[in-house]
Amino acid sequence: MTGPTAAETSADGAFVRQPYRFRGRFSRDGSTAFPAEAGRYRLYVSLACPWAHRAIIVRNLLGLQNVISMAVVDPVRDERGWALRDGSGHERDGVCGFDFLSEAYLRSDASYEGRYTVPCIWDTRTERLVTNNFPDITIDFETEFVDFHAPQAPELYPAHLKSEIDALNDVLYRDVNDGVYKAGFATSQAKYEEAVHALFARLDDLDARLASSRYLVGGQLTESDIRLFTTLVRFDAVYAIHFKCSVRRLVDYEHLWAYARDLYQRPGFQETVNFDHIKRHYYLTHEKLNPSRLVPVGPAVNWNAPHRREALP
């Protein structure tokens, strides 16, 4: 994600995330929304972005790689926004022909003036963006693309746990997922401290919760675990330093750290984590937070160390 614009910092110094303009949804049979079809849609992601990372993990876990194509943007943004290029030079998106993600936004709405965010989904048939509203994307993958799920795909948003997952997701978003951004982009001491205290109070609660349960909800892997994981995996490498979320590190939490390793070591997670993209994006893009644009070395932690959580209920 990028740094805030003036419109995203309130008068009292609080970070306020911009609304997401494109909010199309999918439906299994196409009767109420964009139809869930194979080969029609293209997911645009950054490997650095935690919101996009959710969509990548869910796509992997459900076996949708051959159903929804995916393009990865360059991790280092400039004034032109997210670019579609590889490490050797500039490359157009081979499917949609974009040089920059902004082209998808402006082709969908020529008057669009917001930030060009990931994740977003492009409809190759109507040639417009369906959605850039990240909370909806994984839910629709889980509930509307069910006809294309792999035979052994996990049920990440089961109906009997929906209310509990939704309630937990609300506090995870408020205090943790967006909480690190509220701390990192605050422009007043009061708003920074408010965000940091809420963040670590929630992490303390989660650490206690995970002492006796392998997962967050219902004794099984769910949408909530994925939402928490993408913040935890960035915590020590970025948020503790870059966003001043330094009260405690992830590795200082007995249960959260073991839980994060447990998820990381599952098929569908580890191969989606790219610490090079993560660190280069945050430290090279947010010049107001890191004017020198130096990328820290480390942290030297072993994500493949035994987690010993198999016996938990």
**For residue range 216-238, what is the model confidence (pLDDT) as tens digits?**
999 999 999 999 999 999 999 99
C-alpha 62: how far from its chain's center? 17
User: What does the DSSP assignment read for the chain?
Assistant: -PPP-GGGB-TTS-B-PPPPS-B--EESSSSSSEE--TTSEEEEE-TT-HHHHHHHHHHHHHT-TTTSEEEE--S--BTTB-B-EETTEE---TTT--SBTHHHHHHH-TT--S---SSEEEETTTTEEEE--HHHHHHHHHHTSGGGS-TT---SS-GGGHHHHHHHHHHIIIIIITHHHHHHT--SHHHHHHHHHHHHHHHHHHHHHTTS-SSSBTTB--HHHHHHHHHHHHIIIIIHHHT---SS-GGG-HHHHHHHHHHHTSTTTGGG--HHHHHHHHHHH-TTT-TT-PPPP-----TTS----TT--
Which domains can be identified in the chain, with CATH numbers?
A: 6-148 (3.40.30.10), 159-285 (1.20.1050.10)
- Is 42 one of the annotated binding-site residues? no
User: Residue 17, annotated ligand binder?
Assistant: no
Q: What is the pLDDT of residues 24-83, one digit of tens each?
A: 999 999 999 999 999 999 999 999 999 999 999 999 999 999 999 999 999 998 888 899
Mean pLDDT calculated for residue range 113-125: 95
Q: What is the dihedral of CA 189, 195, 201, 206, to 10 degrees?
A: -150
Tell me: is residue 118 an annotated ligand-binding position.
Answer: yes
Positions marked catalytic: 49, 181
Nearest residue to 138 via CA among 119, 125, 116, 111? 119
- Residue that the structure tokens 């480390």 belong to: 298
Establish whether 116 is an annotated binding residue.
yes
Quote the pLDDT of residue 79.
80
**Residue 117 counted as an annotated binding residue:** yes
> How far is the C-alpha of 203 from the C-alpha of 244, rounded, in Å?
15
Residue 135 predicted with pLDDT over 70: yes
Nearest to 239 by CA among 291, 208, 195, 270: 195
Phi, psi (deg, nearest 5) at residue 74: -65, 140
- What average pLDDT does this structure show over 254-270? 98
Q: Work out the mean pLDDT of the chain and round it to a whole number.
A: 94
Rounded CA separation 45/212 (Å): 34
pLDDT band at 193 (very low <50, low <70, confident <90, very high): very high
The C-alpha angle 62, 68, 73, rounded to 5 degrees, equals 110
Q: Is the pLDDT of residue 167 over 90?
A: yes
Q: Tokens 């629709």 sit at which residue?
A: 140
